[in-house]
Amino acid sequence: ALSIATAAVAQTKPEDAIKFRQAGYAFMAWNMGKIKAQVVDGAVPYNKDQVAAAASVIAAVANSGMGALYPAGSDKGSGFHETKVKGEFFTDGEGVAKVAVSFNKAANDLAAAAATGDQGAIKAAFGEVGKACKACHDSYRAK
Amino acid sequence: ALSIATAAVAQTKPEDAIKFRQAGYAFMAWNMGKIKAQVVDGAVPYNKDQVAAAASVIAAVANSGMGALYPAGSDKGSGFHETKVKGEFFTDGEGVAKVAVSFNKAANDLAAAAATGDQGAIKAAFGEVGKACKACHDSYRAK
């Protein structure tokens, strides 16, 4: 719930905001990949501490108030590269809040599951996080 | 201590590894900036939850095993942009371990301080994290 409520922190320049949000998503993707490799695909042996650490990153990023990284004027422009955000992100506040809240819950549930070491629970929670990422991308990120 | 020990996860392609490490550092910088604004500069009113969330990001990134993001072949190349890592990062294992371990400790201490809400303690711990970032950059990152 933090993620939306914290837009009132110091105003970040649009190009920095775009860079930071691209950074946050990219770093989550790395950590999702590690959990997928260990718990879903089995491509890498399961290591409880590594999966818990990866899930902690995703939860911490989800709880970090990324709403503040969408200041006015950041609908266009370049951070690490040209932004892919859709204009709808800035006009559909209710829809964005909905996907953000469900992502936030899924991310914190994944961290809780990862801390237990129950691989079945982790796999299920991972699936929910993946759906929440996708739900946002389908509506608010250009291809 | 996790950060160095986890190079044995699935091998990441050099250009992805560079992108992910640039992402991790950039996202930490955003969160350091929020703590600085609220607790050091006072440019933004102190909000305990926001500062704790920011410190949790920094600790989670520090604990995430970023050593795995320096695979062989990632001393040159481009992620979000051309890497700034120095060759010494790949040859001075002992020196890298030292800065990484002290960064890891400082980041976890900051998260602990942030959870208490004691602004003096947060400010001191923030200073130690800043020194740890700088120690690594001075030795292993090009200007």
B60 interaction partners in chain A (CB closer than 8 Å): 53, 56-57, 59-61
Instruction: Tell me whether residues A57 and B56 touch, CB distance under 8 A.
Output: no
pLDDT, tens digit, for every residue of A6-53?
444 557 899 999 999 999 999 999 999 999 999 999 999 999 999 999
pLDDT in tens, B24-71: 999 999 999 999 999 999 999 999 999 999 999 999 999 999 999 999
Residue A10: what pLDDT?
56
Q: Does this model's pTM top 0.90?
A: yes
Interface contacts (A, B; CB < 8 Å): 104
Please indicate if any CB of chain A lies within 8 Å of the CB of B82: no
- Shortest CA distance from A59: residue in chain B: B57
Q: Are A17 and A74 in contact (CB under 8 A)?
A: yes
Chain centroid to CA B30: 11
A111 to chain B, any CB pair closer than 8 A? The answer is no
Q: Return d(Cα A50, Cα A114) in angstroms, integer.
A: 9
The answer for residues whose C-beta is within 8 angstroms of residue B57's C-beta and 6 or more apart is: A57, A60, A61, A63, A64, B27, B28, B31
Burial class (CB in 10 A: 0-12, 13-18, 19+), B48: middle
Task: Quote the pLDDT of residue B10.
Answer: 56
Helix (H) / strand (E) containing B101: helix B93-116
B1 touches chain A (CB under 8 A): no
* Residue B139 contacts A where some CB pair is shorter than 8 Å: no
Q: Is A57 on the interface with B (CB under 8 A)?
A: yes
The per-residue pLDDT for range A64-117, each reduced to its tens digit, is: 999 999 999 999 999 999 999 999 999 999 999 999 999 999 999 999 999 999
Contact in structure between B13 and B74 (CB atoms under 8 Å): no
Please tell me the distance from the alpha carbon of residue B15 to that of residue B35, in angstroms, as a whole number: 31
User: Contact at 8 Å (CB) between B85 and B139?
Assistant: no
Alpha-carbon distance of B40 to A110, in angstroms, equals 33
Between CA B8 and CA B29 the distance in angstroms is: 27
Distance of alpha carbon A113 from alpha carbon A97, whole angstroms: 24
Closest residue in B to A19 (Cα–Cα): B26
Average model confidence (pLDDT) for chain B?
94
Chain A hits for B24, CB-CB cut-off 8 Å, are 23, 27, 30
- The tokens describing A47, both together, are 């290591």
CA distance A113 to B102: 29
**What pLDDT was estimated at residue B11?**
75
For chain A, say whether B36 makes contact (Cβ under 8 Å).
no
In this model, does residue A5 exceed pLDDT 80? no
Contact residues, chain B, for A30 at CB < 8 Å: 12, 16, 20, 23-24, 69
Q: How close A88 gets to chain B, by Cα (Å)?
A: 24
A72-79 long-range contacts, CB within 8 A, separation 24+ = A73/A14, A74/A14, A74/A17, A74/A18, A77/A14, A77/A15, A77/A18, A78/A15, A78/A18, A79/A15, A79/A16, A79/A17, A79/A18, A79/A19, A79/A20, A79/A21, A79/A22, A79/A23
Contact A122, A51 (CB under 8 A): yes
